[in-house]
Structure 1
């Protein structure tokens, strides 16, 4: 693919509900200027040591990359170098001219690198434009705030689905359950892939009655802990 502006775009994503939003922003920008798109995530642990939630997000990002014909997913695991150095290396190798970075990733990676990623990138790759996107760190909507997601499954039960935390032969959908804070019951959101579509559906007392997508748009303070 030849970019009409000789551009290429790198989207940096970290685990959480906002990676998809950043990727879609990058896809939109890449399509507009007809540029190749690279999606990068970095982890200091080896891939086989990642928990189920992180693996789930990586699988989603790969699927989103596959849906965009000129997108390429890059996973840098077991990475001990500062994150800014890894981003800069990928940017140079792929001739990247624009980087999309979320505030979530910036905040988290600052904790890892003990410094400012933005300043380091500006120093290491001054020829690249940086797009800093404001994103949410937690799932939250008008009805409540949700805990960190855990791996879960939906099992068909008549005209509805039961939430399960154990995989069985009857499990039809695999995803992440975000439990609503302040309840003793399994109330919250279940996030999963249905075909090529990512859905977030309401769970009430461990039951999903329909697959109406729940719009999650607002966010908690970026100063909160994961």
Structure 2
């Protein structure tokens, strides 16, 4: 990996990236409220489950296929980008999860536009996505920096794991050392999730997560909460 690729992916995976990821828990806070997650071990299992059953079969392969479409970006690919982006948003299990991916996608698109990443034709396609899902915008940003799909998916997955852990530190709550142990333990599973994602064809993407959908729907009316999802 070249230094330019590495630093670009570190930037895209950074919690300092101004897309608002820190304000979301993606159902974890609702799981804590339901006492499904009460300690560090529960938290590790929850994040591992999300990585294995939501990201690996659905979100990560979606990013990989969007990256491939952004790279070629012929007339067919441009239309496919828009259609699959709409399908991804429709696959979100609750209203708050749809709002989350749309808000983060919009914020990342603003960043890409203001920094003039990519060429004008690709940015025009990105602008036509209304709303734009965060994975579509991430795939655009990664592809404009010539990142390899494997590396980009690892950065995306690590960012998700880190954000889930950060949410647990606040909401369970957990100590910093417990959070570090969770991240270290999940690093090998990120590699497995990426390998599975790269082997998943477009017609085999799966986002079926009924418990997550129920918890997220409950979270929308949860009495007290720290996060927007």
Please give the TM-score of this superposition, normalised by the length of structure 2: 0.32
Question: Going by fraction, where is helix more abundant, 1 or 2?
Answer: 2
Larger Rg computed on CA atoms? 1
Structure with greater strand percent: 1
TM-score (norm 1): 0.32
